[in-house]
Amino acid sequence: SQQGEEDPQALSIQEGENATMNCSYKTSINNLQWYRQNSGRGLVHLILIRSNEREKHSGRLRVTLDTSKKSSSLLITASRAADTASYFCATAGRSNDYKLSFGAGTTVTVRA
Amino acid sequence: GAGVSQSPSNKVTEKGKDVELRCDPISGHTALYWYRQRLGQGLEFLIYFQGNSAPDKSGLPSDRFSAERTGESVSTLTIQRTQQEDSAVYLCASSLAGRVEGWNTIYFGEGSWLTVV
């Protein structure tokens, strides 16, 4: 079963704007990761945040994690057309940390 | 190889036929995973290999699905007597070890798109 749920399902923004998407999950986690998928094919790992971390940055990406609310957010700043993709959050559980549970994803369209 | 390689890239098969999907993980990666992604949905875990053993095959949907791994390398996912509901992208991934952690990123292949008609 899918643990994570992303919100919104779809997002359309102008190039240069920021894109924010959220992820909620249900059970205790070891870590939470965000992935990007272009054209429905392979996933690319973007960033991992551990359960004892609250915020993490990587280039134009900023991820937050609130374990009390069981939620995370991904912010993409100064978006580019190349950021058009689907973004998924995935959680690794405490007891079976080899297994990722994915949400249904947020489809982001960046208009030039 | 440089990345996780999957074949075939696309497969159209008739309902009731068997299909085999192949995954070549990154060399040296002991952990290998199969996921399934239906159109517009997230990934569903199918099976996890550590070496040639599968300690967790809990995600396989039915006994029509099986997977094996040999030589701590190539893995094959077999679907017998395919049904239309099996239509999906089947993604393989590998990592150095089984634990999903910051030092141990999972690398995904491009997937095999299966269409059952």
Structural tokens at position B106? 């999972």
Q: What pLDDT, on the 0 to 100 scale, is given for residue B72? A: 86
Tell me: pLDDT of A1 over 50: no
Query: Contact at 8 Å (CB) between A71 and A3?
Result: no
Q: What pLDDT, on the 0 to 100 scale, is given for residue B41? A: 86
Distance (Å) from the alpha carbon of A74 to chain B's nearest alpha carbon: 17
> What's the CA gap between A33 and A50, in Å, rounded?
9
Considering only residues 57 to 76 of chain A, which have any Cβ-Cβ distance to chain B shorter than 8 Å?
A: none
Q: Report the pLDDT averaged over residues A36-43.
A: 85
Interface check B109 vs A, CB under 8 A: yes
Query: Contact at 8 Å (CB) between B52 and B71?
Result: yes
Residues 6+ apart with CB under 8 A from B5: B23, B24, B109
In terms of pLDDT, which residue wins out, B23 or A42?
B23
Tens digit of each residue's pLDDT (9 = 90 or more) over B85-114 = 999 999 999 998 877 676 678 899 999 999
Interface check A40 vs B, CB under 8 A: yes
Tell me: pLDDT of A61 over 80: yes
B-chain residues near A35 (CB < 8 A) = 108
**Closest chain B residue to A93 measured between Cα atoms?**
B100
Query: Contact at 8 Å (CB) between A11 and A111?
Result: no
Interface check B44 vs A, CB under 8 A: yes
Interface check B115 vs A, CB under 8 A: no
> What's the CA gap between B47 and A58, in Å, rounded?
30
Tens digit of each residue's pLDDT (9 = 90 or more) over A65-97 = 999 999 999 999 999 999 999 999 999 887 777
In terms of pLDDT, which residue wins out, B97 or B16?
B16
Of residues B111, B33, B36, the one with CA closest to residue A99: B33
Interface check B53 vs A, CB under 8 A: no
Query: Contact at 8 Å (CB) between A18 and A78?
Result: yes
Q: What pLDDT, on the 0 to 100 scale, is given for residue B102? A: 64
> What's the CA gap between A97 and A55, in Å, rounded?
21
